[in-house]
Structure 1
Amino acid sequence: MSSATEFDYDHLNLEGCLQTPKHPTIDYARIQERPFSSCWTTWVSMGTYEATKDGDGPDGKRRTRASNKVGKSKSGGKAGILATIPERVEEDTLDHPSEIFFQFWATWVLNSYVGNKAGTEVANAEGGGLKPQNMKLFVRLTDFALYWNGKRYPLSAETSAEIRGLKLTFDAQTASDNLTPCRSVTGSTMKTIREWEATSSAMFLLESNPVAGGTNAICTIKPTLTRFHDNRTDLPLWSPEIVGTQGKRLGVARHGYSRLPGDLSTLAAPYYRCDRDKVINHTGGCVNDRAHRVFEMSEGKNPEFAEVTRHIKSALDPSVNGYTSPPLRPGHDWSKPEYPPTKYWNGSEQPKTIPGNWNVASSPPLNKRPAGTNSFNRNFFSNVEMHMDVGTTKMMHWSKTPATNYCKYYFRDQYPAAQNPEGMPWAGGRMRDTRLECDEYPFASTYQGAGGNGRGTGHYSIRAVNGGHNERHGNALKSFYDKYHVATHHAFWVSVVP
C-alpha cells in the first residue's frame, strides 16, 4: 500500500493533452478524463462555423460545420468578432466581410489533488502550499487566424497588427450544485492576441470548501472565453458530457446540445467532487467525477485472491446468480436476518439484480459507505442469532456470537467436522490461510451491500472462501480506494477480466 508521500496522480499537462488522439467514432473535441485530471483541446471558431483539426473529420479530412451555438452574445447578437474585425481589414480583400470567422486552437488541463494523512497539504506537496481542496487549471490559446471563403489565414505581424491588438478574456467560471463554495482564486485573464501569442499559457487556481464530515462539494468548472475585445461573448471552451441514467459517460455533445436518440441521459459540464474525508492514507481531496473508477480483478493475474474473484464473477452473472446464497425467493422478509431462507432448493429461486458490473452497460455503480460502517451490512448475515428451517425436521438454532454467520449454514460441507454444542462448525485453523471466512458481494463497504436501505435485500451473495484470499482481496480493495480517493458516496464499478 502506498504511503502519503508516494501518491501517483497520473496528471496530464498541456503538451500531453495536445497529443490526445481523436476518438474513433466521435468527431468532437479531443478529451481525456482521469481520476485527478481532465483535458480538452480543439479548434474554436467565433462566428457561425466551427472547423475541425486536420484529419478530425469523419472521412479523415479537415471540414467546417454549421454551429449556431457558438459566437452568440448573451443579448443574442453576433459575437464581437463579426463587428470588430471587418473594421480592421482591407475591404477590397473580401467579397463578404461579414462572413469572416476568427479561429484559434484552445487547450486546457485541470489537475486536482488529495491530501496527506493529516489533510494539511496535498500529497507530494514538498512545501508547495496547495491544500487538498485546491485545483489548478492550465490554459493555452495558439494558432490565431482568420477564416473565410473556405480558407484559413494565419495572423502575421505585417498584415494583422491591429487585429493582434484585440483583447481576449479567459475565465474559469465555477458553480456548486449543493451550495458548498467553489471559486476561482485567480480571477479572469485578459490579454491581447499579441500577448497570447507571446505567452500562450495561463494558470488558474481554484478552491472548494466542503464541510468536514458533511456533504461533498460538487464543483463545476466551465473554462470560458468571456470577452472578445469590448464585447461579451461567453463562449464555452468545454464539451457537455452525455451521462446515462446509470452514471456512465456515453460521449460528448459539442455541435449542438442534444442528447442521444431515445436515451434518458443528462448533460454535464466538467465537475469535480471535493471532500475532507479520510480514505486510508489520505485526508481530503478533489476527484474528477467524469473519470470512471473501476476495480479490476482477475483469477489469472491475481491468484492470491482467486477464490474471491470467482465468487464475485458468479454474483455479477444473472444467468447463474440465482443459485448463489442466500437464495432469493418471493415473499421472504429480509428485514429479519435471524431467519435465513432455507438452503434446500424448491424451484422458486430467482436471479438477482446485483450492481457494480462495469462490463454491463445497464449496471448501476456501487457507492462507498462512510469508513467504519461495514458492520451495517455484515450484521444482516453475521454476528446474528439464527433460526434455520423453522417448523421442519431440519430445524436448527445458533446463538448470536461473532463467529455466527450464514456461510456456516449454506456451506456446511466445506467446513471442518468439528462443531459447537449447537451444531455450528468451527472455521478452521488459527491462521487466516488455514480457515474459511464469509465473503460478501456487493462489498460491505458500499451502500448496495446486504443491508440495503436498512431493511435488508436479497440481492447480494455470500460464499465461504479461504481466509487468506479474503484478507488479500480486502487489502487490494483498500489500496484501490486509496489510489483513486473513493470517499463517502463516491461511485465506482468492478470488472472481472481473464
Structure 2
Amino acid sequence: MWTKISNVKTYNVLGNVTTGDDDELLKLEVKPTADSGSTCRMTSGSSRQASLTGWKADGDDEFLFTVQDTDGDKADKCTLRPTMVDVDDQWTYRPMYLWSQVAYDQKGQILGKTTGGGDPSGNDPNEKPYTPHVRCDWYRVSNADPEGEGTAAVAAAPTAGVHTGACILPLAKRIFIMSKSKDASYLQVIQHIEKALKQDGSTTDNKLTVPPLRNNEAQNPPVKGVLGSEKTKVIPGNWAAPFGTDPDVVEAGDPLVRGPAGETQKKNRPVFLRSFTVSGTSYSNYCRYYFPERFVDPLKKALDPNGEIQCDEYPFASTLQGAFYAKGNYSLLAVGKAHNTGRGSHGAALGSFYTRNRVISKTPFWVWIVP
C-alpha cells in the first residue's frame, strides 16, 4: 500500500494560508485488521511522525502486508485504515481518515458521504464498509471452461493456466464484458444472453425464450410454442440495467453470484440436461425438444463447422441464479459447440474472467454486452 500526503496547508482565523503551525506534529498510522480465522501483519513500513514541514518535504510512504489463513477457509480480508493523528490535539482529537468518505451502492452509484472520524480499529458503528481492504484467497483456480463438461477435471488440471492464490480489491466491480463485434468466435452465445436479458415487456422480450414461463403450467418441461400466456422472465446480472432496490426481490440489475465450483453445475445442468418423453417421443435434453431443427442439417452445419450442437443456458450454470434456483426465470438455446465450449469459446472467456478477477464462490459479478 502506498500513501501520499501532499498539499498540506494550515489557515489562520482570517482564512489565509499560514506557515505559523509548520512545527506542529502529525502521525501517520496504519493498523491492519484481519478476518476471524486469519492474520494480517505489516512486514515492511511503519508509522511515521513528522512536523508539517517534514510532511511537506516528503509525504510518500510504502507499506507491505502479509495475510495468512489460519482456519482453512482459504479466503480472508485484510482491512487497512491509514489515518493521520494530530499528536498534540491542537486541531482535532479524532483520527483523520486518509481514504474517501464517499459511500457507494453495489453498482458504484454515490449514496452520500460519511462524516466525522471515529475509532479506526474497526469497531466504529458509523464506519461504512468502504475502508481500504483486500481479499486474499488460496484457491487453485484454472482457466478451464467453468460451464463445460470438463469442469470436474479442474481440480486435476495441469499447472499451465492454473493460478493458486491471489489478492484483489473487493470494492472493484467484476463485469464480464462481451463485444458483439470483437468476440465473434462466440457471437451465438452473446446473442442468446442479449435476448435473455431483454425484459422490457415488449412483444420481443424474453417471454419468447425457452423454456416458456407460464402460470399453472401442466407439462414439465413447459409446452413448446407460443400459447399467448407466456410471461416476461426476471433474469439478473445485467450491468446495463437499473440497480435493484429491493433485496428480497430478484431484479434485472442484481448481480450474478458464483457458486461452489463443480457443485453448482451439478445442480443447475440436470434441470434441462435430462431425458424425458412427450407424446410418445423421447428427448435427451430440453434443447432437442425446443430446437429440433438445430440438430439436423442444414442448420446444424451452419451453426457449427463440425455439426456439434450444445445447450447453452443463462444465467450461467456456475452461478446461484442458474436453472436450479431460477424458478423458471432462465433461458436456453441450442448453439454451436465451437461458440459454447473449447478454445476461443464463450466458456473459455468466462473461465479466464473468473481466474483473472478471482471470481470464486460467493463472488458477485455482472455481464455487459457492448457493440
Scaled by the length of structure 1, the TM-score of the pair is 0.58
Distance 1:284 1:241, change over 3 A: farther
The alpha-carbon deviation at position 331 of structure 1 amounts to 3.9
Alignment of 1:458 onto 2:328:
yes
The alpha-carbon deviation at position 205 of structure 1 amounts to 2.1
- Correspondence for 2:159: none
Counting only pairs closer than 5 Å after superposition, residues 89-100 of structure 1 correspond to structure 2 as: none
1:178 and 1:364 mapped to 2: Cα distance? Answer: 28
Counting only pairs closer than 5 Å after superposition, residues 69-468 of structure 1 correspond to structure 2 as: 137-149=1-13, 151-153=15-17, 155=19, 160=20, 163-176=21-34, 180-185=38-43, 186-210=45-69, 214=73, 216-229=75-88, 232-244=93-105, 247-251=106-110, 253-254=112-113, 256=115, 268-280=130-142, 281-319=162-200, 320-332=205-217, 339-362=220-243, 363-373=253-263, 374-382=265-273, 384-388=274-278, 394-398=279-283, 404-416=284-296, 433-452=306-325, 457-468=327-338
The alpha-carbon deviation at position 355 of structure 1 amounts to 0.8
The alpha-carbon deviation at position 213 of structure 1 amounts to 6.2
1:203 and 1:248 mapped to 2: Cα distance? Answer: 30
SS in structure 2 of the partner of residue 413 of structure 1 = helix
Distance 1:211 1:416, change over 3 A: farther
Amino acid at match of 1:465: V
The alpha-carbon deviation at position 311 of structure 1 amounts to 0.1
Q: Cα deviation per residue 1:36-70 (whole Å; 9 max; x = unaligned)?
A: xxxxxxxxxxxxxxxxxxxxxxxxxxxxxxxxxxx
1:277 and 1:234 mapped to 2: Cα distance? Answer: 36
1:187 and 1:441 mapped to 2: Cα distance? Answer: 49
Does structure 1 retain, via aligned residues, the 8 Å contact 2:81–2:132? Answer: yes
The alpha-carbon deviation at position 360 of structure 1 amounts to 0.7
Q: Which gives a bigger RCO, structure 1 or 2 (Cα 8 Å, sep 6+)?
A: 2
The alpha-carbon deviation at position 179 of structure 1 amounts to 5.8
- Correspondence for 1:29: none
The alpha-carbon deviation at position 433 of structure 1 amounts to 4.4
* Runs of 4+ in structure 1 over 6 Å off: none
C-alpha RMSD of the superposition: 3.0
Does structure 1 retain, via aligned residues, the 8 Å contact 2:5–2:59? Answer: yes
SS in structure 1 of the partner of residue 324 of structure 2 = coil
The alpha-carbon deviation at position 409 of structure 1 amounts to 0.7
Q: Cα deviation per residue 1:337-373 (whole Å; 9 max; x = unaligned)?
A: x931121332221111111100012211111223333
Q: Cα deviation per residue 1:312-359 (whole Å; 9 max; x = unaligned)?
A: 0001111311111111122459xxxx9311213322211111111000
Does structure 2 retain, via aligned residues, the 8 Å contact 1:141–1:196? Answer: yes
Amino acid at match of 2:30: A
Distance 1:254 1:222, change over 3 A: farther
Does structure 2 retain, via aligned residues, the 8 Å contact 1:145–1:154? Answer: yes
Distance 1:240 1:446, change over 3 A: farther
Scaled by the length of structure 2, the TM-score of the pair is 0.76
Work out which of the residue numbers 475, 478, 481 in structure 1 matches 2:354: 481
Amino acid at match of 2:24: L
Q: Cα deviation per residue 1:79-110 (whole Å; 9 max; x = unaligned)?
A: xxxxxxxxxxxxxxxxxxxxxxxxxxxxxxxx
Does structure 1 retain, via aligned residues, the 8 Å contact 2:199–2:234? Answer: yes
Amino acid at match of 1:489: K
Does structure 2 retain, via aligned residues, the 8 Å contact 1:305–1:469? Answer: yes
The alpha-carbon deviation at position 305 of structure 1 amounts to 0.9
1:350 and 1:412 mapped to 2: Cα distance? Answer: 23
Does structure 2 retain, via aligned residues, the 8 Å contact 1:240–1:252? Answer: no
Bigger Rg, structure 1 or 2: 1
1:345 and 1:313 mapped to 2: Cα distance? Answer: 20
2:94 and 2:234 mapped to 1: Cα distance? Answer: 48
Amino acid at match of 1:442: P
Q: Cα deviation per residue 1:250-270 (whole Å; 9 max; x = unaligned)?
A: 12644638xxxxxxxx76333
Amino acid at match of 2:206: N
The alpha-carbon deviation at position 460 of structure 1 amounts to 0.9
2:229 and 2:195 mapped to 1: Cα distance? Answer: 19
The alpha-carbon deviation at position 139 of structure 1 amounts to 1.0
The alpha-carbon deviation at position 445 of structure 1 amounts to 1.5
Distance 1:213 1:481, change over 3 A: farther
